[in-house]
């Protein structure tokens, strides 16, 4: 029995790829400017200057479009830094999170997607996949630190990386103040200290 791909998950090239990118740009702009409520497929088609039928056929729902946007963001994200030092790698990770969340466009976009994920299961699943991809990418710096002898062999690499971004997202969503370089440094230092102390030992 043939497997049918979920709406928005096919990755063809050529004109179809250009249409996808135009629609995803329009969707990102709408989310950043007005939130998830603005993700009307007909309006997105108008913004992207593509046919409504194309958008409805390919994505079907605003949630499917938001999910595809998150998958594209994960694909386009920068690779991890490799400085040769756990502390410097974690600081680079924290700085990237701060840079993303303080960017006027990206910060509003993430806020809208996080808000949408609280009431839409498909968006929530896509957001979880996005963070899984990014944590997996950066977990390599912890694995490298284990190889260099900086951390114990049973250190949970994914938990360490999650510990870097967790306080930054908390501040972003709950304090209402802009994130700073000091926030990045504190988050990286705290995660590193906890990892060295064995807090993140795998069960």
Same domain for 63 and 92, yes or no, is: no
39, 31 Cβ separation under 8 angstroms: yes
Q: Which pLDDT score, from 0 to 100, does residue 2 have?
A: 30
Does some domain include residue 41? yes
Same domain for 187 and 90, yes or no, is: yes
Same domain for 191 and 123, yes or no, is: yes
Domains contained in the chain, number? 2
CA–CA distance, 80 with 150 (Å, rounded to integer)? 18
Same domain for 95 and 143, yes or no, is: yes
Does some domain include residue 149? yes
- Identify the domain containing residue 190 by its residue range: 77-196
Does some domain include residue 146? yes
Dihedrals φ, ψ of 135, to 5°?
-65, -40
Among residues 36, 51, 68, the one where a domain terminates is: 68
Same domain for 91 and 188, yes or no, is: yes
pTM: 0.84
- Helix, strand or coil, per DSSP, at residue 199: coil
Does some domain include residue 177? yes
Give 74's contacts (C-beta < 8 A, 6+ positions apart).
Answer: 129, 130, 133, 134
Same domain for 116 and 166, yes or no, is: yes
Same domain for 106 and 191, yes or no, is: yes
First to last CA, the chain: 40
Same domain for 42 and 92, yes or no, is: no
CA–CA distance, 133 with 122 (Å, rounded to integer)? 17
CA–CA distance, 183 with 61 (Å, rounded to integer)? 37
Same domain for 27 and 84, yes or no, is: no
Does some domain include residue 1? no
Does some domain include residue 91? yes
Sequential pLDDT tens for the chain (203 residues)? 332 344 444 444 577 889 999 999 999 999 989 888 878 999 999 999 999 999 999 999 998 999 899 888 888 887 898 999 999 999 999 999 999 999 998 999 999 999 888 888 988 999 999 999 999 999 999 999 999 999 999 999 999 999 999 999 999 999 888 999 999 999 999 999 999 999 999 87
Query: Looking at residue 54, which CATH number applies to its domain?
Result: 1.10.10.60
């Amino acid at each position: 029995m043939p497997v049918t791909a979920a709406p928005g998950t096919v990755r063809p090239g050529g004109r179809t790829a250009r249409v996808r990118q135009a629609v995803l740009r329009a969707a990102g702009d709408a989310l950043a400017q007005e939130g998830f409520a603005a993700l009307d497929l007909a309006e997105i088609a108008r913004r992207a200057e593509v046919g409504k039928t194309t958008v409805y056929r390919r994505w079907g729902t605003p949630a499917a479009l938001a999910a595809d946007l998150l998958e594209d963001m994960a694909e386009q994200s920068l690779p991890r830094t490799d400085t040769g030092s756990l502390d410097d790698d974690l600081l680079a990770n924290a700085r990237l999170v701060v840079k993303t969340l303080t960017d006027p466009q990206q910060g509003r976009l993430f806020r809208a997607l996080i808000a949408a994920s609280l009431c839409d299961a498909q968006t929530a699943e896509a957001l979880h996949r996005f963070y899984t991809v990014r944590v997996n990418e950066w977990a390599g710096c912890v694995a490298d630190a284990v190889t260099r002898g900086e951390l114990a062999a049973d250190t949970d690499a994914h938990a360490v990386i999650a510990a870097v971004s967790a306080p930054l997202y908390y501040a972003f969503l709950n304090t209402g103040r802009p994130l700073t370089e000091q926030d990045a440094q504190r988050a990286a230092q705290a995660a590193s200290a906890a990892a060295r102390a064995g807090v993140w030992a795998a069960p």
